[in-house]
């Protein structure tokens, strides 16, 4: 069987399982009101709507690493939009539409404000956790303290007119919402764009240096989650005809996080099922054991967290895969559900895209960087031309890596100015600098441990080829230089291997491949050949020289392999104690007594003479 046929069978199998699960869920929701007692049906309607809110927590926390306690506030905003509209204005088709539009709009506006406060350049995940923890408290206080008591204060709003639907109708609507949003979320996280979310969770800084606007993505995701939670809250108000401040409060927001943790965050199905089962169980326990039911639920939570830190979903999934795998293997003739990545050269030479002809690729004037009283860089002036490889050398602590940080991140310098391809960098984030054409590798390999080699390479193409949010492509076009490195190091045969399983040398080669896949016009390489064999270093040098001479790239290189530096460099810049000591040709620098004087010991002097 050919590789293409295996890919097609794997894709059909995965989609078949997806449709089968959806069909089973639809069937259960359809027959639910016919076989369940009325009390259970009523509780399940609420549970389905809670599950929709939990789904947003899982996409944010489980897939993107955004721990949000504020989904209850968005749920409450949607509910109160309906309650306020139907209580004070009345119920009708126009009012119903206005209420849901108002609820979604206010929830998304609140989410945008949270994102604006939480996701600024140097914010940590701690910010969004604290801010979303405070958000439900603020919303509840607003509900309590509004002057005209429009919200009913602590008593809430009760008995307003609502949709003339039966309990069975609400059951089908709530269950349908849970199925539809779960299916959409599943398709979303399994798309090419879904890998971007996981990359942000794994290594957000690296994403920024690849030109990915993580702030915009996280804020947009938070706003989408707020809209979905508001829809669930709107339906909750329409069904119960009761809205109270508790549904927007901190306790409910924490419960949504607990449901996600118990079900298994990052699994979608686990949190949804967990929310339904826990809420249904709690409803029965609260009636039969009113004084100890919270203790029982709390004990279960502690036991699961201690014994099953990933939740119960992985255990259920293993059993389901065993059963489903045997069945679908007989139907589709394959046991693989992972598409095989296919690499192909780009149909065009895009390395010059966006490169302004005649402009100086990189110009630095008076650049400085201080950490309190420590001055890491002082008055650096430097120009680098196209078709030039400039190597930056100097003893440890000279400021080499700091210089690269200041070029690639507009928030790093404390003084001076930097121009990239004729545009002044200013105070802009790394993703904006990357959009100007700067690609950077790091001194310590910076990749995505849980992603595969193929997924990392696709991620590098984000700025040039935006991934689809609801589909998965198996082919990937890459520049010729990237393909040469992949072929030479054998990474082209390891596209489905996770990065965490690669050797150090392969990780270094993959990082350089990822940087080149962004098609930069300026390359900032911090020890790119560390850990590679001599043959691989020679190959990397040939590729860098080829990129410089044929494509006109401007390359700044930090490297301690002096033979490598000598063989490919156009110029050498020497840094010492944060100052630019010398800028000249290879021979001028190698033969400089001043340069020799700053190095430590005779051995390094001998190495320099050998160069």
Q: Could you read off the pLDDT of 142-182 as tens digits, one per residue?
A: 998 876 678 888 888 998 999 999 999 999 999 999 999 99
The CB-based long-range contact list for 464-470 (8 Å cut-off, 24+ gap) reads 464/350, 464/353, 464/518, 464/519, 467/191, 467/192, 467/193, 467/195, 467/196, 468/191, 468/192, 468/193, 469/188, 469/191, 469/193, 470/184, 470/187, 470/188, 470/191
pLDDT digits (tens, 9 = 90+) for 14-37: 777 778 888 999 999 999 999 999
* Contact between 527 and 393 (Cβ < 8 Å): no
pLDDT above 80 for 6: no
pLDDT above 80 for 315: no
Residue 325 has a pLDDT of 55
Q: Span 584-600, mean pLDDT?
A: 77
In the structure, what pLDDT confidence band is assigned to residue 358 with cuts at 50, 70 and 90? low
* 582-593 burial: b if 16+ Cβ within 10 Å, else e: bbeebeebbebe
Sign of CA dihedral 67, 45, 76, 292: negative
Q: Span 491-501, mean pLDDT?
A: 90
Rounded distance between C-alpha atoms, residue 365 and residue 469, angstroms: 42
Give the least confident one: 115-119, 465-469, 556-560. 465-469
Q: Span 383-390, mean pLDDT?
A: 91
Q: Span 499-517, mean pLDDT?
A: 90
Rounded distance between C-alpha atoms, residue 177 and residue 437, angstroms: 44
Residue 347 has a pLDDT of 67
Tokens found for residue 601 = 């010991």
Share of the chain above pLDDT 90, in %: 50
Residue 94 has a pLDDT of 95
Q: Which of 336, 198, 313 is nearest to 267 (CA)?
A: 313
* Contact between 133 and 250 (Cβ < 8 Å): yes
Residue 609 has a pLDDT of 40
pLDDT digits (tens, 9 = 90+) for 266-300: 888 889 998 999 899 888 887 777 777 778 777 87
Residue 348 has a pLDDT of 54
pLDDT digits (tens, 9 = 90+) for 191-203: 889 999 999 999 9
In the structure, what pLDDT confidence band is assigned to residue 599 with cuts at 50, 70 and 90? low
Q: CB-based burial of residue 199 (10 Å sphere; 0-12 exposed, 13-18 middle, 19+ buried)?
A: buried
pLDDT digits (tens, 9 = 90+) for 227-249: 999 999 999 999 999 999 999 99
Q: Span 436-456, mean pLDDT?
A: 91
Rg of the Cα trace of the chain? 29
SS3 335: coil
The count of residues in the chain is: 611
* Residue of 605 and 547 predicted with greater confidence: 547
In what helix (H) or strand (E) does residue 176 lie, and over which residues does it extend? helix 167-189
pLDDT above 70 for 261: yes
């Amino acid at each position: 069987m050919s590789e293409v046929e295996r890919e097609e069978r794997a894709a059909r199998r995965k989609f078949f399982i997806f449709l089968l699960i959806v069909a089973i869920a639809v069937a259960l929701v359809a027959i639910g009101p016919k076989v369940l007692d009325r009390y259970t049906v009523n509780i399940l309607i609420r549970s389905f709507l809670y599950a929709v809110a939990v789904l947003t927590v899982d996409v944010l926390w489980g897939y993107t690493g955004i721990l949000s306690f504020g989904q209850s506030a968005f749920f409450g905003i949607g509910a109160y939009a309906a309650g306020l509209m139907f209580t004070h204005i009345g119920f009708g088709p126009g009012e119903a539409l206005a209420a849901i539009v108002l609820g979604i709009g206010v929830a998304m506006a609140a989410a945008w404000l949270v994102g604006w406060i939480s996701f600024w350049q140097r914010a940590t995940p701690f910010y969004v956790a604290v801010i979303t923890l405070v958000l439900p408290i603020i919303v509840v206080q607003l509900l309590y303290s509004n002057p005209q008591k429009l919200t009913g204060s602590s008593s809430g709003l009760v008995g307003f007119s609502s949709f003339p639907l039966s309990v069975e109708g609400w059951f089908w609507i709530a269950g349908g919402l849970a199925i539809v949003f779960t299916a959409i979320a599943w398709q979303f996280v399994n798309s090419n764009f879904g890998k971007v979310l996981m990359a942000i969770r794994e290594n957000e800084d690296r994403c920024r240096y690849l030109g990915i606007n993580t702030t915009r993505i996280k804020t947009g995701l938070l706003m989408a989650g707020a809209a979905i939670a508001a829809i669930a809250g709107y339906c909750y108000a329409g069904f119960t005809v009761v809205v109270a401040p508790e549904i927007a409060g901190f306790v409910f927001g924490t419960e949504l996080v607990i449901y996600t943790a118990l079900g298994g965050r990052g699994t979608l199905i686990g949190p949804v099922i967990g929310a339904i089962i826990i809420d249904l169980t709690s409803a029965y326990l609260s009636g039969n054991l009113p004084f100890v039911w919270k203790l029982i639920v709390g004990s279960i939570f502690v036991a699961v967290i201690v014994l099953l830190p990933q939740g119960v979903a992985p255990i259920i999934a293993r059993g389901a895969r065993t059963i489903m795998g045997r069945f679908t293997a007989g139907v589709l003739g394959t046991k693989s559900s992972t598409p095989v990545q296919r690499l192909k050269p780009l149909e065009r030479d895009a390395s010059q895209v966006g490169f302004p002809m005649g402009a100086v690729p990189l110009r630095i004037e008076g650049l400085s960087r201080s950490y309190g009283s420590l001055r890491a860089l002082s008055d650096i002036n430097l120009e680098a031309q196209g078709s030039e490889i400039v190597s930056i050398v100097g003893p440890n602590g000279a400021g080499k890596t700091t210089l690269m940080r200041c070029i690639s991140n507009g928030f790093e310098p404390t003084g001076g100015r930097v121009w990239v391809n004729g545009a002044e960098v200013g105070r802009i984030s790394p993703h904006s600098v990357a959009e100007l054409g700067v690609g950077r590798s790091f001194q310590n390999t910076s990749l995505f441990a849980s992603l595969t080699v193929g997924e990392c390479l696709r991620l590098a193409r984000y700025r040039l080829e935006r991934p689809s949010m609801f589909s998965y492509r198996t082919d990937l076009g890459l520049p010729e230089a990237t393909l040469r490195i992949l072929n030479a190091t054998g990474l082209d045969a390891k596209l489905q291997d996770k990065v965490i399983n690669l050797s150090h040398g392969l990780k270094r080669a993959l990082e350089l491949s990822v940087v080149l896949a962004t098609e930069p016009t300026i390359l900032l390489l911090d020890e790119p050949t560390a850990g590679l064999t001599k043959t691989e270093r020679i190959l990397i040098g040939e590729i860098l020289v080829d990129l410089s001479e044929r494509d006109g790239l401007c390359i700044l290189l930090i490297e301690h392999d002096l033979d490598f530096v000598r063989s490919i460099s156009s110029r050498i810049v020497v840094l010492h104690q944060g100052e630019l000591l010398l800028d000249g040709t290879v021979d001028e620098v190698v033969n400089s007594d001043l340069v020799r004087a700053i190095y430590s010991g005779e051995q390094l002097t001998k190495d320099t003479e050998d160069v």
